[in-house]
Structure 1
Amino acid sequence: MTEKQTQEKTPTPAVSAERVLDAGALRALAHPIRVQIYDILSQYGAQTASSLAERLGESSGSTSYHLRALAKHDLIREVRDRGTARERWWERPRGMVSLGDPAVMRTPSGRAASQIVLTETLNRRHQQLMEFVSRGAEHAAGGPWEETPMISTATARLTAGQLGELAAEISVIISDYVERYRDQNGDDVRPVTIRADIFPLPD
């Protein structure tokens, strides 16, 4: 087998289809509690209104209301084969989500909704990072997770094209791992957040 033939048979990592949120879905998501609910479903899998209420310090009536608002725009969906009429389970559909609909971003309301979603998401990510720094490293000490976390910052001087190439390569690696291990379970498996912050600095 030639090198060319080998390369042709190498599978390309699967990349989930991206959903670009329209104005209605973006407005439905643009609420601090709904962003947190959406993020919890993304990170920890299916939840009930009660389990979300416990995590968020809210009432189950409040989380039920926000779940219905998210479901109305297909941001989440009910897990049909799980739960009862009184205790429904909800999950986030698979796939990447983008806030970058050009038509939506051209309107003041669209930009405002996008800003709320981004701000709340990044606030939650930063809170999780700081909680890990203050407590998580201690919990991992001496165990199999002690040497695995990575918190790194680097600076390079790149052109816009090189920045795009770097972002694309990292995206492929992340998507490959997500697709391979998304449904993995086991006593030694835990949710892991993967962050990639790549952007030009101001002049």
Structure 2
Amino acid sequence: MTPQPDPQPARDGDRTLDGPVLKALAHPLRVQLLDILSQYGPQTASSMGKRVGESSGATSYHLRQLARHGLVREVADRGSARERWWERPRGSLILSTSTSEQDPALREASRQVNRHFVQGRAEALAAFTASDPSALPEEWADAAMLSTLNAYFAPDQLKALNRDMEAFLRERLETYRSEPGAAGARPVQLHFNAFPLTDFQEQP
């Protein structure tokens, strides 16, 4: 999830976060819960509580707040009165900067949400690189890849590349993805980051 200053027309299911929705999400536990549902598929408040070290009461409360804004929903025909199952609707979440640039409170909420998501990505990558290679089946070790590319871009070139890469990745994701619970499938996280380095200095 990254800010899109000039978003392309959204696909069905895509959603731009702004206003009350953005403020509601600006809580580290809510971002964690949204991430868990994105990564692992439907979960209960109890199972998510175990993952994040919180009580099921706390996760239930925050899930209900996310549901109020349509960020998560109950799974139909699953669970009971005592144990609800939750899922995240498909589609990308886009942080709008057009509104937040004019409203200091929204600007801060956008910064907090983005920071929490980025922190989650960094922790997932760090956990993978720190794990014992022998603990991962050989076919999964062979399938994984970490890659960094460096280049010079003008702003319009970087914007065009990001747009093209997003369209390509979305198309290929739908071609190859499995449903949760499919034989041989496990959660996988894809990263593609393209941004200007902040410590750059013009050469004299």
Normalised-by-shorter TM-score class = 0.7 to 0.9
Question: How do 1:127-142 and structure 2 match up within 5 A?
Answer: 127-135=123-131, 137-140=133-136
Change (3 A) 1:184 1:64: closer
Answer with 115-124 or 162-171: which moved more. 162-171
Find out whether 1:69 has 2:59 as its counterpart. Answer: no
Please state whether the residue corresponding to 2:60 is helix, strand or coil.
helix
Match of 2:107 among 104, 107, 111: 111
| Structure 1 runs, 4 residues or longer, greater than 3 Å off | none
- Determine the C-alpha separation between the residues in 1 that align with 2:132 and 2:75: 31
Answer with 59-68 or 170-179: which moved more. 170-179
Query: Per-residue deviation at 1:65?
Result: 0.5
Answer 1 or 2: which has greater helix percent.
Answer: 1
Please state whether the residue corresponding to 2:145 is helix, strand or coil.
coil
Structure (1 or 2) with the larger CA radius of gyration: 1
For the Cα contact (< 8 Å) 1:16–1:94, is it kept in 2?
A: no
Aligned to 1:9: none
Runs of at least 5 residues in structure 2 that lack an aligned partner in the other structure: 1-10
TM-score (norm 1): 0.86
**CA RMSD, aligned part only?**
1.9
Find out whether 1:100 has 2:65 as its counterpart. Answer: no
For the Cα contact (< 8 Å) 1:99–1:114, is it kept in 2?
A: yes
Runs of at least 5 residues in structure 1 that lack an aligned partner in the other structure: 1-14
Question: How do 1:72-83 and structure 2 match up within 5 A?
Answer: 72-83=68-79
Match of 1:162 among 147, 152, 157: 157
Query: Per-residue deviation at 1:138?
Result: 3.5
Answer with 158-167 or 110-119: which moved more. 158-167
Query: Per-residue deviation at 1:105?
Result: 3.4
Answer with 91-100 or 184-193: which moved more. 184-193
Change (3 A) 1:184 1:149: same
Please state whether the residue corresponding to 1:89 is helix, strand or coil.
strand
Query: Per-residue deviation at 1:193?
Result: 0.6
Aligned to 2:6: none
TM-score (norm 2): 0.85
Aligned to 1:91: 87
Aligned to 1:148: 143
Aligned to 1:174: 169
Please state whether the residue corresponding to 2:115 is helix, strand or coil.
helix
For the Cα contact (< 8 Å) 2:18–2:96, is it kept in 1?
A: no
For the Cα contact (< 8 Å) 2:42–2:86, is it kept in 1?
A: yes
- Fraction of identical pairs, as percent: 43
